[in-house]
Amino acid sequence: SGSVILELSKEKPQERHLDRQAAQFGAAVAKVEAELSAQIRYLTQVATGQPHEGSSYAARKSCQLALNRLDYARRRLGELARACEAMLEP
C-alpha cells in the first residue's frame, strides 16, 4: 500500500505500475483474510468444545463420562447393599 501511495503522489503516476501494486496489495489482503478466517474457525471449535484436529477433547470427554457412570453405579450398589443388610438384620 505504501508504494501505491508513493505512486499516486507523483505528478504522472504510471497506471500499469499502480494497477500491479494495487493487485498485489489486494492479494495480500485476501491471503491475510483467509488465514484469519481459518484461525477464527479453529478458535471457535476450541472455545465451544468441539473436536478439532489435534484435539483429545472427545476422548477426554468420553473417559470422564465413563468415570461418572462408574461412580454412579458404585453409589447405587452401595445403597442396594445397605438396603439388603438392613432387611437381613434381625
The per-residue DSSP string of 8-77 comes to HHSSS--HHHHHHHHHHHHHHHHHHHHHHHHHHHHHHHHHTT---TT--HHHHHHHHHHHHHHHHHHHHH
pLDDT, tens digit (0-9, with 9 covering 90-100), for 21-74: 888 889 999 999 999 999 998 888 777 766 666 667 777 888 999 999 999 999
Please state the domain extents for the chain. Answer: 1-50, 55-89
| pTM more than 0.75 | no
